Homo-oligomer: A and B are copies of this chain.
Amino acid sequence: MGLTKTEFFTERQNKTAMLLKALGHPARVAIIEHLLKVKSCVCGDIVSELPLAQPTVSQHLKELKSAGIIKGSVEGTSVCYCLDEKAFESLSAYFSHALTDLQNKNSTCC
């Protein structure tokens, strides 16, 4: 079918999956790592950093933006993209909690 049954899962589960899915592509990982590295938020020369054509990069940026991982602001003729701290707070907390939960239950199996 190819159609994810989102209606059967909780709002939170769908939201979490959306964030993670948006980051689940090497090009998009490369984009956020680049945005983390540079001081100023480099705007559109992300394209020249990546081994992909401009429309492809634009599409990846759109997905990251619609997932709430990056923000973009227009600056004259170019666009400034930078990371949205809230998304990283949320993901950091999610995995941090998961890890401590996991460590606290010292399961004997597997």
Binding site for B on A (CB under 8 A): 4-6, 8-10, 13-14, 16-18, 20-30, 32-33, 36, 39-41, 51-52, 71-73, 80-83, 85, 88-89, 91-92, 94-96, 98-99, 101-103, 105, 107, 109-110
10 tightest A-B contacts by CB?
A21-B24, A9-B26, A8-B51, A92-B95, A20-B24, A24-B24, A17-B26, A82-B110, A20-B23, A92-B99
| Integer count of this chain's copies in the complex | 2
A107 with B92, Cβ < 8 A, contacts A21-B24, A26-B4 known: no
Q: Are A71 and B9 in contact (CB under 8 A)?
A: no
CB distance from A46 to the nearest CB of B (A): 14
Once bound together, how far apart are the Cα atoms of A47 and B32, in whole Å? 35
Q: Enumerate chain B residues within 8 angstroms of A10, measured Cβ to Cβ.
A: 30
Q: Enumerate chain B residues within 8 angstroms of A24, measured Cβ to Cβ.
A: 17-18, 20-24
From B80, B96, B110, A73 is in contact (CB under 8 Å) with B110
CB distance from A104 to the nearest CB of B (A): 10
